[in-house]
């Protein structure tokens, strides 16, 4: 019994905050649970895949493994990145079901440890497309951080 | 496989399963598969002691492990089945079919419990008391079988009965059971306590009741034999390890990456002059190649793994259908890639079922037809030139042509007129069409509409092909040809709409360059493109349009890749063609599984990712849904008329004088080399080609290797060597009826022929190969060049190609032999029936109807008149495996077709050595 109690305690301690990698897409800040992130890549040579849905940008070679590049903007119904701004595209590599995916985003920020008390599940008024691929929202100082639900985002493409 | 399933399962459900149970499941599933076929074998040889002990041991292991893991339901069933098996093993109960059925029933129950265990992690609920009661009835001798008299205490071995002190003799002859087997003595069925506990703590229970020791006492000889066997097995087991498939896959990925990096390094190296890196890099390159080969080997599994279920299936079928069927399996040790094995398992099972159900007749019908009552299904696997061939032969009733015709008309697949113009072979192919089933009645076994069309599709999916040969009343043979591995394939890299793609080389027949300038052009009919390929209209598809690609590249020059699936030929229009590359096929992400045009993707030597096109998918996208025999008609027509068949020739220009030609079948590849990259080693020209050095020779001194920046090269291969013949230009490929006038004096020329209306030199490749590579000649056996008198010696030459018949006959005649030429082995075998005798047989390997290997087997049969005649095999591309296979079936020599010097010396030697024997 005492062991179980200890376990519960640890659980709550771990649950009090969460570490998220922050990323920017357009002027919105997003977060991905840090444990899901395998790699962060700079500009990569991506091979187009004909006939693939728009959200699949192509595939790339990451140290001998083929990684499917996902255009997160397309998943979120956002316009494609305006290349003229000179912004170099970044990618965050995640694993799902034994396969690697590289989520193409605009830029990567810091890793934040965020307390649960600032967290809220998806509000009902959130855009339905976003609601289907996000977990919830953290209230940061001055801005709102949307937590991406990576497994669901990938599942939606299937 | 089970392990991977479990892993996937765990990941999905987040379910935790004890590692021990996982291990147990893997092991038990393997043992069960082995048990199935063992028990069927037991039924055929009921007195095979070794087999009996083997089965008993397996069942015992299952039981023992169950007890350890606390799987009580499983343990009970295994325990009672083991009791019965124990009595078979000890020989006091004869194995009968009904007992085998009972044992199989117990095995099925065990399997059911195990699959429940796999799904839920605990034993499924259920009642086994009926089964256990049946097993106990047999064990205790109360199942109503008159031969099953109780325990058999009354059977006392003779040597015991006659001994001075019978009790002592009985004691002596009773081997001491090893401790871990003690519990087998305990026959109290209700005992649920762990085995070890019952054996250790209840000595009273372990003290054998009078009946038990007898039951557990095998004849000493059998026991000793069994132990030996066990010892051997465990020694073997110590040399192998169980490795998770994931680990191997990962290793494979790493090696592929290593190969790619190596290729990149070699690429950089080529642009540098000699540096200190050259030698170590060469060494690295070799080691990497060996490593790659080694890792590939770990993926190989004997094809027998896909066959283990078949004896059981055939047994159950023959009982259900009331037929008598023998299943013979040959070549179960032939190895192929694990992935392919998985993919052919179901089609094979389906086909064997089909043979049993539709092929083999009822015993009464067989006797009426003058055949033995018991039908035979033979499954045979062997390697043939980078492929594995699986044959399924039955001696049943064959395919009824009239019924197929009827059915084809009824189902609207063909009209009566069309059928009238078809050959028997073509009509038989209808069984591969969707929704075609010839069974008169639908049985539970087959004939449910999913039939041979599914089998065909599955085999073609892995780049294989299936051929059917059937003679009504005599039986049918299915020949499945599949590649050895899917993991690494040779692919052609092409570009379309600015993107590069790989097309598996297996599907590529030839390349055509279409440009307005040369007059070779693509024509259109209402927007659909076509191309005139020799005498045929080739349907075309533009890769760019098919893939919905756009690009500004509107070059008038296009390449047409002529591809073939089954017998269906079509052309793919692409913008550019690069090189062939060995690629490592990786599956596409599951997000793209819906796109049928891609069979996988890969990483090229330069590190970029490209998609691999699936030729089957392309055809589907073109709207050809049924390609089994489309285009087959045209092909058939091309091969009519005796001895007037056409030979495909490659025409090229080299040096001064007449145009040159070489049979296309002998050319492995056409390449273009950058002449700046030609290197010289001890005065010989060579070039780095696919990681090896390839010697280069010119046609004659008038050809300048460096006259242009790029030069076309014809590549010839044999076993392991490669040679390149540098020429000035490639002119064309043509199909002609060629009549070669042999000339003896010109070096490097076999003779001349009229091709495309011009006198053309047909070149002797053997001459150039000897010039390029001295070893080549040596390997083919030019030792001890004795002189056998050739005068009047009779030589039989069998070759389906008129070109070679025409070329070799005069050659042999000039050398003084008396030559008889035939175009297929069947004619030769007819000749044998008439009592003709020869001193030597020279035979081609690849021939329609009957290949050289089969021919050799026939010639070497017992009672064959030709049993002792030496045989020489002729071949265009031979691999080590081919040669071994050839030697196995009875060829004494193997030579390359184009090497006429060696042919003559080999014939000479073969006759000499024969002379010695006589």
**Digit-coded pLDDT (tens) for A122-152:** 888 888 888 888 999 999 888 999 999 999 9
Report the distance separating Cα B688 and Cα B692, nearest Å: 6
**Per-residue confidence band for B65, with pLDDT thresholds at 50, 70 and 90:** confident
* HSE-up (13 A, CA, CB side) for residue B201: 6
**Within the 532-551 window of chain B, which residues sit less than 8 Å (CB to CB) from chain A?**
547-549
Residue with the bigger pLDDT between B106 and B609: it is: B609
Probe site for chain B from A51, A55, A100 (most B CB atoms < 10 A): A51
- Indicate whether this model's pTM tops 0.80: no
Chain segment B445-493, per-residue pLDDT in tens? 444 445 677 788 788 777 778 888 888 888 889 988 887 766 677 889 9
CA distance A2 to chain B (A): 23
CA distance B329 to B427: 29
Q: Over 60: is that where the pLDDT of B266 sits?
A: yes
**What is the CA angle B907-B910-B911, rounded to 5?**
85
Nearest-Cα distance to chain A for B607, in Å, is 7
Q: Is B98 exposed, middle or buried (0-12, 13-18, 19+ CB in 10 A)?
A: exposed
pLDDT reading at B795 higher than 80: yes
**Contact between B462 and B506 (Cβ < 8 Å):** no
Asked whether the beta carbons of B429 and B413 are under 8 A apart, the reply is no
In the numeric block, which tokens belong to residue B874? 């002729």
Question: CA-CA distance, B483 to B771, in Å (whole number)?
Answer: 34
3-state secondary structure of B34: helix
Of A50, A59, A97, the CB nearest to B609: A59
* Pairing outcome for strands A65-71 and A56-62: antiparallel
> Strand B893-896 and strand B871-875: pairing?
parallel
Q: Which two tokens stand for residue B630?
A: 């489309």
Q: Is the pLDDT of residue B740 over 80?
A: no
Sorting pLDDT into bands at 50, 70 and 90, what band is A29? Answer: very high
- pLDDT beyond 60 at B906: yes
**Shortest CB distance from B591 goes to which of A45, A56, A65?**
A56
Write the pLDDT tens digit of every residue in B661-676: 887 777 777 888 888 8
Q: Do A99 and B590 touch (CB under 8 A)?
A: yes
- pLDDT of B752 > 90? The answer is no
The answer to whether residue B308 scores a pLDDT higher than 80 is: yes
Check residue B502 and give its pLDDT.
Answer: 94
Task: Give A71's strand partners.
Answer: A104
- What is the spatial distance between Cα B585 and Cα B599, in angstroms, rounded to a whole number? 9
User: What's the pLDDT tens digit per position in B828-866?
Assistant: 888 888 777 888 888 888 777 788 888 888 888 877 788
Q: Are B729 and B513 in contact (CB under 8 A)?
A: no
Question: Does the beta carbon of B251 lie under 8 angstroms from any beta carbon of chain A?
Answer: no
CB neighbour burial string for A54-91, b if at least 16 within 10 angstroms, e if fewer: ebbbbbbbbebbbbbbbbbbbbbebeebeeeeeeebbb
Query: What is the average pLDDT across B591-612?
Result: 85
- Check residue B773 and report its DSSP letter: -
Query: pLDDT value at position B789?
Result: 53
Task: Give B390 or B259, the one with higher predicted confidence.
Answer: B390
DSSP secondary structure string for all residues of B686-745 = EEEETTEEEEEEESSTTS-TTSSSEEEEEEEEETTEEEEEE-SEEEEEEEE----EE-SS
* Spatial separation of the C-alpha atoms in residues B254 and B388, rounded to whole Å: 27
Chain A CB contacts of B603 under 8 Å are 61, 64, 66
State whether B591 and A60 contact (CB < 8 Å). no
Range with the poorest average pLDDT among A85-89, B128-132, B559-563? A85-89
Chain B CB contacts of A64 below 8 Å: 253-254, 256-257, 260, 603
Q: What separation in angstroms does the CA of A116 have from each of A15, A124, A146, B757? A: 7, 19, 14, 88
Closest CA to B191 of B72, B69, B110, B85: B72
The mean pLDDT of B723-727, rounded to a whole number, is: 85
For residue A66, what is the nearest residue in chain B, using CA coordinates? B609
Bridge partners, B485 (sequence order)? none
Contacts of B130 (CB under 8 A, 6+ apart): none
Distance between CA atoms of residues B627 and B11, nearest Å: 41
Of A84 and B11, the structure prediction assigns the larger pLDDT to A84
Tens digit of pLDDT for each residue in B311-335? 888 888 888 888 888 989 998 888 8
SS3 assignment for B609-667:
EEEEECHHHHHHHHCCCCCCCCCHHHHHHHCCCCCCCCEEEEEEECCCCCCEEEEHHHC
User: Contact A101/A67 with Cβ under 8 angstroms?
Assistant: yes
Contacts of A44 in chain B (CB under 8 A): none
Q: Which residue of A has its CA nearest to B258?
A: A64
Contact B589 A47 (CB under 8 A): no
pLDDT band for position B247 (cuts 50, 70, 90): confident
Instruction: Report the pLDDT value the prediction gives residue B904, as an integer from 0 to 100.
Output: 75
Residues 6+ apart with CB under 8 A from B818: B792, B793, B794, B795
Asked if B740 and B859 count as a contact pair (C-beta separation under 8 A), the reply is no
The pLDDT assigned to B898 comes to 65
Q: Does B618 touch chain A (CB under 8 A)?
A: no
Structure token pair of residue B193: 């306590």
How far does the CA of residue B295 sit from the closest CA of chain A (Å)? 16
Q: Is B202 left (phi over 0), alpha (psi -120 to 50) or beta?
A: beta
For B585, nearest residue in chain A (alpha carbons) = A66
The most confident of the ranges B167-171, B225-229, B416-420 is: B416-420
Mean pLDDT score, B32-37 = 74
Residue B591 touches chain A, beta carbons under 8 Å:
yes
List chain B residues with CB under 8 Å of A50.
Answer: 497, 499, 547-549, 597, 611
Residue B421, pLDDT score = 79
pLDDT score, position B869: 84
Q: How far is A144 from chain B (nearest CA, A)?
A: 31
Choose the mutation target among B589, B599, B621 for the interface with A, i.e. most A CBs under 10 Å: B589
Contacts of A49 in chain B (CB under 8 A): 592, 598, 611
Contact assignment for B592 to A63 by CB distance below 8 Å: no
Encoding tokens for residue B424?
């028997």
CA B45 to chain centre: 30
Nearest to B607 among A50, A61, A98 (CB): A61
**Predicted interface score ipTM higher than 0.85:** no
Q: Does B260 touch chain A (CB under 8 A)?
A: yes
pLDDT digits (tens, 9 = 90+) for B76-102: 888 888 888 878 777 777 777 788 788
Higher pLDDT, residue B268 or B224:
B268
Query: Can you tell me the distance from the alpha carbon of B750 to that of B766, in angstroms, rounded to the nearest whole number?
Result: 10
**What are the counts of helices (DSSP H) followed by strands (DSSP E) for chain B?**
31, 35
Is B609 in Cβ contact with A50 (below 8 Å)? no
Q: pLDDT tens digit string along B412-423?
A: 777 888 888 777
Q: How far is B4 from chain A (nearest CA, A)?
A: 11
CB within 8 Å: B590 and A158: yes
Smallest Cβ distance to B591: which of A45, A63, A68? Answer: A68
Chain B residues lying within 8 Å of A93, measured CB to CB: none
A50/B499 Cβ within 8 A = yes
> For residue A98, which residues of chain B lie inside 8 Å, CB to CB?
8, 11
CA geometry: angle at B876 spanning B874 and B882, to 5°?
70
Considering only CB atoms, which chain A residues are within 8 Å of B597? Answer: 50-51
Q: Which of residues 497-516 of B touch A (CB under 8 A)?
A: 497, 499
Residue B693, pLDDT score: 78
At B635 the pLDDT is 37
Tokens of B859: 């010639």
pLDDT tier at B640 (50, 70, 90 boundaries)?
very low
Taking residues B748-761, report their average pLDDT: 78
pLDDT-derived band at B643, boundaries 50, 70, 90: very low
- Nearest residue in chain A measured CA to CA from B12: A97
**Which residues is B577 bridged to in the sheet?**
B494
Any idea which of B143-147, B547-551, B780-784 has the lowest mean pLDDT?
A: B780-784
Confidence tier at B743 by pLDDT (50, 70, 90):
low
The rounded distance, in Å, linking the Cα atoms of B834 and B816 is 25
Beta carbons of A69 and A56 less than 8 angstroms apart = yes
**pLDDT at residue B652, rounded to an integer:** 87
Would the CB atoms of A64 and B254 count as touching at under 8 Å?
Answer: yes
pLDDT at B165: 55
Within 8 A of A47 by CB-CB distance, chain B residues are 499, 608-611
A115 or B273, higher pLDDT: A115
Q: What is the pLDDT of residue A22?
A: 94
Cβ proximity of B75 and B66 under 8 Å: yes
The count of other CB atoms within 10 Å of the CB of residue B462 is: 17
pLDDT value at residue A31: 94
Ramachandran region, residue B181 (left: φ > 0; alpha: ψ -120 to 50; beta: rest): alpha
Mean pLDDT taken over chain B = 74
B603 and A66 within 8 Å at the Cβ level: the answer is yes
Cβ <8 Å between B591 and A65: no
- pLDDT class of B718 with cuts at 50, 70, 90: low
Of B635, B662, B903, nearest in space to B803 by CA: B662
Bridge partner residues of B377 (DSSP): B327, B394
B610 touches chain A (CB under 8 A): yes
Q: Which residue among B253, B548, B598 places its CB closest to the CB of A64?
A: B253
């Amino acid at each position: 019994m005492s062991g179980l109690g200890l376990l519960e305690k640890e659980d709550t301690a771990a649950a009090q905050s969460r570490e998220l990698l922050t990323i920017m897409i357009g002027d919105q800040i997003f977060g991905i649970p840090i444990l899901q992130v395998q790699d962060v890549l700079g500009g990569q040579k991506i091979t187009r895949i004909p006939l693939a849905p728009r959200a699949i940008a192509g595939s790339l070679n990451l140290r001998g493994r083929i990684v499917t590049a996902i255009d997160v903007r397309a998943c979120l119904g956002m316009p494609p990145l305006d290349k003229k701004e000179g912004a170099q595209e970044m990618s965050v590599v995640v694993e799902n079901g034994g396969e690697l995916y590289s989520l193409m985003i605009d830029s990567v920020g810091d890793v934040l440890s965020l307390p649960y008390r600032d967290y809220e599940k998806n509000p009902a008024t959130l855009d339905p497309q976003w609601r289907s691929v996000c977990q919830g929202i953290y209230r940061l100082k001055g801005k709102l951080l949307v937590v991406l639900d990576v497994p669901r985002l990938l599942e939606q493409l299937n | 496989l089970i392990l991977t399933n479990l892993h996937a399962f765990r990941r999905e459900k987040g379910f935790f399963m004890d590692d021990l149970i996982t291990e147990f499941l893997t092991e038990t599933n393997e043992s069960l598969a082995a048990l199935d076929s063992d028990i069927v074998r037991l039924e055929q040889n009921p007195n095979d002691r070794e087999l009996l002990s083997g089965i008993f041991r397996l069942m015992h292991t299952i039981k023992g492990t169950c007890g350890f893991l606390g799987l009580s339901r499983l343990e009970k069933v295994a325990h009672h089945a083991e009791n019965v098996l124990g009595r078979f093993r000890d020989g006091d109960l004869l194995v009968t079919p009904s007992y085998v059925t009972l044992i199989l029933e117990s095995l099925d129950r065990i399997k059911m419990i195990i699959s429940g265990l796999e799904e839920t992690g605990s034993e499924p609920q259920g009642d086994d008391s009926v089964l256990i009661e049946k097993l106990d009835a047999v064990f205790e001798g109360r199942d109503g079988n008159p031969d099953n008299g109780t325990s058999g205490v009354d059977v006392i071995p003779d040597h015991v009965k006659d001994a001075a002190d019978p009790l002592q003799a009985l004691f002596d002859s009773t081997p001491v059971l090893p401790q871990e087997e003690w519990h087998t003595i305990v026959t109290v069925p209700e005992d649920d306590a762990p085995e070890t506990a019952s054996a250790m703590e209840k000595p009273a229970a372990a003290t054998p009741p009078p009946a038990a020791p007898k039951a557990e006492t095998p004849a000493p000889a059998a026991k000793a034999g069994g132990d030996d066997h066990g010892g051997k097995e465990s020694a073997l087991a110590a040399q192998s390890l169980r490795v998770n498939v994931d680990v191997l896959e990962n290793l494979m990925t790493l090696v592929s990456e290593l190969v790619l990096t190596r290729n990149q390094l070699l690429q950089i190296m080529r642009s540098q002059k000699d540096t200190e890196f050259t030698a170590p890099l060469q060494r690295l390159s070799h080691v990497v190649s060996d490593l790659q080969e080694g890792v590939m080997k770990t993926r190989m599994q004997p094809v027998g793994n896909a066959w283990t279920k078949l004896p059981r299936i055939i047994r159950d079928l023959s009982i259900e259908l009331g037929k008598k069927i023998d299943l013979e399996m040959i070549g179960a040790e032939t190895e192929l890639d694990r992935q392919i094995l998985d993919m052919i398992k179901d089609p094979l099972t389906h086909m064997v079922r089909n043979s049993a159900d539709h092929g083999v007749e009822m015993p009464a019908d067989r006797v009426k037809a003058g055949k033995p009552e018991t039908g035979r299904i033979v499954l045979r696997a062997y390697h043939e030139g980078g492929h594995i061939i699986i044959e399924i032969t039955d001696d049943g009733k064959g395919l009824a042509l009239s019924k197929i015709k009827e059915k084809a008309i009824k189902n609207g697949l063909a009209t009566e007129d069309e059928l009238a113009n078809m050959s028997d072979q073509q009509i038989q192919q209808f069984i591969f069409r969707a929704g075609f089933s010839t069974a008169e009645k639908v049985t539970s076994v087959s004939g449910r509409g999913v039939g041979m069309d599914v089998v065909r599709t599955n085999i073609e999916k892995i780049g294989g092909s299936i051929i059917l040969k059937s003679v009504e009343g005599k039986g049918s043979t299915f020949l499945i040809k599949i590649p050895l591995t899917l993991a690494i394939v040779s692919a052609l890299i092409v570009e379309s709409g600015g993107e590069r793609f790989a097309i598996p080389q297996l599907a590529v027949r030839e390349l055509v360059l279409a440009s307005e300038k040369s007059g070779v052009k693509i024509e259109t009919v209402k927007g659909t493109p076509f191309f005139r390929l020799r005498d045929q209209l080739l349907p075309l598809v533009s890769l760019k349009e098919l893939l919905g690609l756009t690009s500004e590249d509107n070059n008038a020059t296009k390449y047409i890749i002529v591809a073939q699936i089954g017998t269906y030929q079509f052309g793919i229009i692409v913008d550019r063609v690069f090189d062939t590359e060995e690629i490592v096929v990786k599956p596409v992400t599951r997000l793209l599984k819906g796109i049928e045009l891609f069979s996988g993707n890969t990483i090229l030597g330069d590190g970029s990712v490209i998609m691999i096109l699936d030729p089957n998918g392309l055809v589907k996208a073109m709207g050809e849904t049924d390609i089994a025999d489309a285009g087959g008609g045209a092909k058939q027509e091309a091969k009519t008329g005796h001895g007037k068949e056409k030979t495909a020739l490659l025409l090229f220009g080299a040096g001064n004088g007449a145009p040159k030609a070489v049979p296309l079948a002998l050319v492995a590849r056409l390449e273009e080399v950058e002449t700046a990259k030609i290197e010289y080693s001890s005065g010989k020209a060579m070039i780095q080609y696919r990681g090896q050095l390839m010697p280069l020779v010119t046609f004659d001194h008038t050809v300048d290797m460096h006259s242009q920046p790029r030069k076309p090269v014809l590549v010839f291969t044999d076993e392991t060597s490669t040679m390149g013949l540098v020429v000035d230009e490639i002119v064309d490929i043509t199909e002609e009826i060629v009549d070669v006038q042999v000339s003896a004096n010109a070096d490097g020329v076999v003779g001349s022929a009229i091709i495309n209306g011009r006198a053309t030199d047909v070149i002797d490749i053997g001459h150039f190969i000897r010039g390029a590579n001295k070893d080549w000649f040596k390997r083919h056996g030019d030792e001890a060049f004795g002189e056998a008198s050739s005068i009047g010696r009779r030589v039989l030459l069998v070759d389906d190609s008129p070109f070679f018949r025409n070329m070799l006959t005069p050659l042999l005649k000039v050398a003084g032999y008396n030559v008889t030429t035939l175009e297929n082995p069947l004619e030769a075998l007819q000749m044998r029936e008439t009592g003709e005798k020869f001193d030597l047989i020279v035979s081609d390997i690849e021939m329609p109807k009957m290949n050289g290997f089969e021919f050799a087997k026939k010639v070497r049969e017992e009672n064959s008149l030709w049993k002792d005649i030496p045989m020489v095999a002729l071949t265009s591309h031979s691999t080590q495996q081919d040669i071994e296979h050839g030697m196995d079936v009875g060829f004494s020599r193997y030579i390359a077709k184009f090497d006429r010097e060696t042919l003559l010396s080999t014939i000479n030697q073969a006759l000499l050595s024969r002379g010695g024997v006589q």
